[in-house]
């Protein structure tokens, strides 16, 4: 490996340590400038990352129109519920 400090010297490994993350930590030393540095070797896991922060789709209608539509839907639903209450249940036969 080339030295990142002098960019011309070759390096050698002085110590190798198992890291807690499952990787390998190597302490290196340059032959030219005699500086020491460390490198980390980790295991790459190709797992899909969770998708966060997707933008919500924008409504195609203005808020006022959406409120009006919801109000009309509610009124129609209530009228249908009231009409059902007035109609007798004709599926059940009454006994004499």
64 within some domain = no
Which tokens belong to 53?
């922060």
Alpha helix (H) residue ranges in the chain: 63-86
Tens digit of pLDDT for each residue in 79-94?
Answer: 888 777 665 655 555 5
82 within some domain = no
1 alpha carbon, distance to own chain's centre:
37
How many structural domains are present in the chain?
1
91 within some domain = no
**Non-local CB neighbours of 17 within 8 Å, separated by 6+ positions:** 24, 25, 26, 27
Q: What domain range is 30 assigned to? A: 11-41
Which tokens belong to 83?
């009409």
Tens digit of pLDDT for each residue in 14-64?
Answer: 989 888 877 899 999 988 888 898 888 887 777 777 777 777 777 788 889
pLDDT at res. 20: 80
Q: Write the CA distances from 70 to 20, 40, 74, integer angstroms.
A: 57, 59, 6
33 within some domain = yes
29 within some domain = yes
């Amino acid at each position: 490996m080339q030295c990142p400090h002098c960019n011309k010297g070759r390096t050698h490994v002085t110590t190798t340590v198992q890291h807690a993350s499952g990787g390998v930590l190597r302490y290196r030393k340059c032959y030219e400038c005699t500086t020491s540095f460390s490198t980390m070797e980790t295991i790459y896991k190709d797992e899909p990352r969770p998708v966060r922060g997707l933008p919500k789709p924008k409504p195609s209608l203005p808020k006022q129109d959406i409120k009006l539509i919801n109000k009309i839907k509610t009124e129609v639903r209530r009228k249908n519920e009231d009409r059902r209450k007035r109609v007798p249940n004709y599926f059940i036969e009454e006994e004499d």
